[in-house]
A and B are shown apart, each in its own frame.
Chain A
């Protein structure tokens, strides 16, 4: 009988990796999660505390999946504090995926913070198709740069390259991820831009791409309760991030009035991005 991905299953954390002082990767055995596509998410239950959508991180262990969490609110802090042997609940993977055309020869991936998670998964798939890949890792400061070593390892041997930007210039290129983008699109021709990270960053990347007529795919985030298209909490304009996304293309992004402008609070009130 096929497994119902909606039914919650428990997973035991088998390994943790501290990425920075506030970012941690949790690895656990989960066959369904290990097969998730780039852009999909798991609903992760932290018993008696929260249930939160988390992008699926690559794990090198067969049959394992991982999530990378930055401690921020109640739920993410509790997840961050979990250790080897602790249990979490899982539903999913849910949502659509980044799409790759076999016509592509060179693509640009731009991620900020834990937004890098789906992009690493995507980068692995892209390099397998012999498409060249440039990954921009954006961070505020040197201490917040994550996944650099890992990305450099599999983007070596002519498969691609990694560019690190920091807002304060403490490491790599000084400036934002979109500054890094402007520089690299002046030097190379790309077929497509993939992005995930803070929405203001993605909006900027979308606008630069539009000027250059570069197609974009962006993985968006909204507050979610159900993950399966029932509650409506994650709506952005006429779309639901959980079912119609998380990945949206240039055409959809250009029709969104709320992209980079507004989001909904837990009670459904529309708030403006500052």
Chain B
């Protein structure tokens, strides 16, 4: 396998997950097709996080669901559309070589053991629990802002799987460090930070909000400094790997997140403006940077900003 050769400099350990390089597909992007996962992996991505899967299929909201705002910044309210765990488990059943993390979303703690029973025997390296979708009621952020629910869900999941789980947090009404602490104390192996940030776009000519759901989540370049801050604050205090997410569009952004404290970095919206060479450009940029700095493995830069 081509990816093995770069293991010296770019391979990272994210808790118990070992990735050939620190790039991951962010949840919600291109996340429903095994053929697409294989294409991304052959294009040198480190790992895949799927779209958030629920017990039953969800159609999501009517279009417009995704609004490009310019400057590599996007607004979306897709509404967690996904084929449901039964169809999705069939989709990835023949997965042989792609490191897949399945993102899970539910409206109560009872949903998660059901989904895990379909997925746990498949070739899946871990789960990411979406407790921070900013635009679907009773799923996501409403749960993420409730520490008792967060704790109950994580403890329930940990009783049903031995695979590592990451909890994806966002900007809600609770402090990101506090909600991460609740997740870790309940058994989360990792934290993914951050989800999209609640936002809105109005067309001034027609005076109409563009998203069918009116309010959605902001992603892309505009939220990167917020993501960097959250990763820094969480990783400085908590002793679990943090996966950075939000506005990554270049190898420099990957480096910045890792210096802030991320063990791996997710990439999402920007893939809309990229081609099949994207991950090769990221990894070769990272290798050149490490060579210039005389760093043997990229893991050495994780959290260097904690000195400050």
Residues of chain A whose beta carbon lies under 8 Å from any beta carbon of chain B: 4, 6-8, 10, 45, 47-52, 74-75, 87, 89, 91, 225-226, 228-233, 235, 237-238, 240, 264-270
The answer to whether the Cβ of B281 comes within 8 Å of any Cβ in the partner chain is: no
Question: How many B residues are at the interface, by size bracket?
Answer: 35 or more
- Tell me which residues across on chain B come within 8 A of A8, comparing CB atoms: 67, 203, 210
**Who on chain B is nearest to A4 by CB?**
B70
Instruction: Tell me which of B35, B78, B87, B271 contacts A238 (CB under 8 A).
Output: B35
Please report the C-alpha to C-alpha distance between residue A125 and residue B175 in the assembled complex, in whole angstroms: 59
| B residues 43-60 touching A (CB-CB < 8 Å) | 51, 57-60
The answer to whether the Cβ of B140 comes within 8 Å of any Cβ in the partner chain is: no
- Tell me which residues across on chain A come within 8 A of B78, comparing CB atoms: 225, 231
Please report the C-alpha to C-alpha distance between residue A52 and residue B63 in the assembled complex, in whole angstroms: 8
Please report the C-alpha to C-alpha distance between residue A8 and residue B202 in the assembled complex, in whole angstroms: 11
Can you list 13 A-B contacts (CB < 8 A)? A47-B206, A49-B62, A50-B212, A51-B64, A87-B206, A225-B65, A225-B78, A231-B29, A231-B78, A233-B81, A238-B36, A267-B84, A268-B32
Please report the C-alpha to C-alpha distance between residue A30 and residue B39 in the assembled complex, in whole angstroms: 36
- Tell me which residues across on chain B come within 8 A of A231, comparing CB atoms: 29-30, 65-66, 78
The answer to whether the Cβ of B246 comes within 8 Å of any Cβ in the partner chain is: no
Is B210 a contact of A266 with CB atoms below 8 Å? Answer: no
A54, chain B: closest CB distance, angstroms = 12
Interface string of B1-41 (1 = CB under 8 A from A): 00000000000000000000000000001111101101100
- Tell me which residues across on chain A come within 8 A of B30, comparing CB atoms: 229-232, 235, 240
Is A268 a contact of B51 with CB atoms below 8 Å? Answer: yes
Is B74 a contact of A10 with CB atoms below 8 Å? Answer: no
Please report the C-alpha to C-alpha distance between residue A49 and residue B32 in the assembled complex, in whole angstroms: 25
**Who on chain A is nearest to B54 by CB?**
A267
- Tell me which residues across on chain A come within 8 A of B82, comparing CB atoms: 267-268
Is B70 a contact of A235 with CB atoms below 8 Å? Answer: no
